[in-house]
Amino acid sequence: MTIAQSFESAFDFEKFIAVRFEDLGFTIRINNKQNEPGYDFLAMKNQKIIAVQVKNFKNKVSIRQVTKFRDFMDRSNIKEGAIISSKGFSAPAIAAIAAEKVQNFYMGHLEENKFIWDYLSKDIDHAPQEQKSNHYISVFTAKGGVGKTVVSAHLAGAFAISGYKVSLIDGDPEENLYRLTGSKASVPNSRTGDNNTINVAKVSDWNENTNSQESVTIFDCSPAFERNSLDLLKKTESFIIPTSLSPLDIGSKAEVLLRTIEQIRNCNTHASIFIIMNKYYAQSKQDQKRYHDVVAIISALEDKKCLLMDPEETVSIRESKILRNWGSEPDLAFKTIGGRCHPRDDFLKLTEYLMEHLDIT
């Protein structure tokens, strides 16, 4: 029986993909185990056995969905895997896999009946996304030492490896960021020459017109609200508020967060606000209670555009040694060669989240 006969519905997307694999000379074996949803079929040719998962979703496949399939592969000892998506993949999802140089892995979508490979482990070559809008992101917490500079720089790096042209602006008169990086921060393990560096500017030297091709502008703020450029704060479309659950960072009743949000809203009512846990680690019971208290305090504000990101379910920046030690050179704390890297994974997840929730194209 050929693959074309083994499906009931002529329009079944899985069948359609399996037939494309047959066209490439593969033999197909459908996964009949209903309770084992890890893959849809095996595509076999010579010694090669690829477990293929087909995703027919409304949205692009996210990092989380790719990770789930890779975890399944690890658990089941599957050596080669492919995800074929009807809508393609988020740019950070592709960047995460490419930066890690994952072996024996393929990610593709179909265009006019032909596979377009977004990631091929043996031939890494994916074109950066088209540049469209310029989106302003400010990283601000009304508190020193919570990670504003670390988050600004590495978020810029994650946008850069996802194919965006990024401008990073040091808005703090202390100039900690600029003193560290100079006018360029390097992004290790970037695949396209253009994105190996991010331009860094002091706010006093920054000019909107000279940076007009940038698609994302990230502004590392001073913790003293009034020391920041009001013009940039007003232009900002999304604020990132890094914090930890430590009472020293957040205040015993989240006063630091409340003050931060109030200061933002006094000058900007339209921006989205995302509170993200930084220096995050597995929570103790006490941390969990504190987190739930903070959730209640933030919901009581009834600010629909202010979101506290769930560190377990959505995204957080984990406490990490390479982030703690970052700063002796302008290279970001992303690994230079393949392999897993928590900061890179976390910042790519944050990038993906922002792309999904904001008008970043």
Ligand X SMILES: Nc1ncnc2c1ncn2[C@@H]1O[C@H](COP(=O)(O)OP(=O)(O)OP(=O)(O)O)[C@@H](O)[C@H]1O
Choose the binding region for Mg ion from 86-94, 120-128, 148-156, 279-287 (rule: CB under 5 A): 148-156
Residue 131 binding result from Mg ion, ligand X, none, given CB thresholds of 5 to 8 Å by partner type: none
Of residues 199-238, which lie at the interface with ligand X (CB under 6 A)? 223
Q: Is 276 in the site for ligand X (CB under 6 A)?
A: no
Sequence letter at residue 282: A
Q: Is 279 in the site for ligand X (CB under 6 A)?
A: yes
Q: Is 42 in the site for ligand X (CB under 6 A)?
A: no
Out of 148, 290, 335, 349, point to the residue binding Mg ion (CB under 5 A). 148
Out of 181, 190, 217, 278, point to the residue binding ligand X (CB under 6 A). 278
Out of 121, 129, 131, 176, point to the residue binding ligand X (CB under 6 A). 176
Residue 163 binding result from ligand X, Mg ion, none, given CB thresholds of 5 to 8 Å by partner type: none
Q: Is 154 in the site for Mg ion (CB under 5 A)?
A: no
CB 342 within 8 A of CB 301: no
- Compare residues 192 and 246 and give the one whose CB is closer to Mg ion: 246
- Compare residues 89 and 326 and give the one whose CB is closer to ligand X: 326
- Alpha-carbon distance of 118 to 126, in angstroms, equals 6
Of residues 297-326, which lie at the interface with ligand X (CB under 6 A)? 317, 319-320, 323-324, 326
Q: Is 157 in the site for ligand X (CB under 6 A)?
A: no
Alpha-carbon torsion, ordered 241, 342, 154, 85, to 10 deg? -90
Checking 190-196 for CB contacts under 8 A at 24+ apart, the result is: 190/160, 190/161, 191/98, 191/124, 191/126, 191/161, 192/128, 192/163, 194/128, 194/165, 195/128, 195/160, 195/161, 195/163, 195/164, 195/165
- Compare residues 26 and 219 and give the one whose CB is closer to Mg ion: 219
Of residues 117-156, which lie at the interface with ligand X (CB under 6 A)? 144-150
- Compare residues 326 and 334 and give the one whose CB is closer to ligand X: 326
Least distance in angstroms from the C-beta of 108 to Mg ion = 41
Q: Is 175 in the site for ligand X (CB under 6 A)?
A: no
Q: Give the SS3 label for residue 240.
A: strand
Which residue(s) pair with 241 in the sheet? 275
- Compare residues 149 and 162 and give the one whose CB is closer to Mg ion: 149
- Alpha-carbon distance of 355 to 308, in angstroms, equals 17
Apex 82 CA angle, 156 and 353, nearest 5:
30
Q: Quick one: how far is CA 221 from the chain centroid?
A: 21
- Alpha-carbon distance of 338 to 124, in angstroms, equals 12
Least distance in angstroms from the C-beta of 137 to ligand X = 15
Residue 330 binding result from ligand X, Mg ion, none, given CB thresholds of 5 to 8 Å by partner type: none
Residues 6+ apart with CB under 8 A from 65: 55, 83, 93
CB 98 within 8 A of CB 105: no
Return residues touching Mg ion (CB under 5 A). Answer: 148-149, 176
Return residues touching ligand X (CB under 6 A). Answer: 144-150, 172, 176, 223, 278-279, 317, 319-320, 323-324, 326
